[in-house]
Amino acid sequence: MQKLTPNEQRHAASLAEIKASPYLETDCGDTDQLGQSPAELLPLHRYNEDWADVEFDQRMLDCALRFPGLGAQWEIPEEEEDLPEIYGDFNLLHLHDVLKQPAGPAPLPGATSFQQQFLSELRIFDHTPRSGAGKLTYIRMQPHVTPLEIWYSAVADIGSDPYPPGFLKMDITYCEYLDALLLTKGTYGWQYLYTDISLRGRAFHETVTYVQGMLEVFPEIFPQHDYTPLRDRLEARL
């Protein structure tokens, strides 16, 4: 097997942490195979003629993973009565599979030309296929923007004009998103911690419960990680 990059080693170790935890029921992928290196995907206009001026910056090329589909679904089982009920699911697509997607989300009836253009620029790179929870994270393939924007979609009534409903820009880069997954392990709703949205509303009660449960349990399950930054982010959202 090819030698893993330092970041690939970190994510392989994180998946092993999930698999090895006696407190989690898991359905995990593997890290046995590697795809193309990110640099081999350039130039991007080979995949879409509109991407001639879209750039994967060097940091993104360095941090991207070659695993075809690194992911896991997990939950704390009911028999763990002393632990909160929390769930997680993530599946990171290889950048080749991101680029090969034929189109972004379909625009809703009545979408403005700006909204149609915005949706055409989105490509999924993280999703929840094992649980079917419908949580999606996108790279926005926008020309002349570095680093590329990261957008999250989960609830129809989030977002604001001029963007279509259901989409939130994350205050995070692609590489920082991968770093955050090492901590959150895909806990449902963790992405909201990296947006400017308030989580006080009734619609986010379940999300807050999951994130609070993560911050209660994970420091004990995964003591090698520091969850202080995530606690600070949650406090800022409440």
The series of mean pLDDT values per 10 residues for the chain, 238 residues long, is 89 96 92 92 94 96 95 89 90 97 89 94 95 92 97 82 91 97 96 93 90 95 95 95
What is the predicted pLDDT for the residue at 133?
Answer: 86
pLDDT value of position 78? 79
Structure tokens at 144: 């002349």
**What pLDDT is recorded for position 160?**
81
Rounded distance between C-alpha atoms, residue 182 and residue 90, angstroms: 11
pLDDT attached to residue 201 = 84
> Edge-to-edge strand order for the sheet containing 122-126?
25-28, 69-75, 87-93, 122-126, 136-140, 150-153, 168-170
Please state, in angstroms and rounded to a whole number, the distance separating the CA atoms of residues 24 and 73. Answer: 10
pTM of the model: 0.95
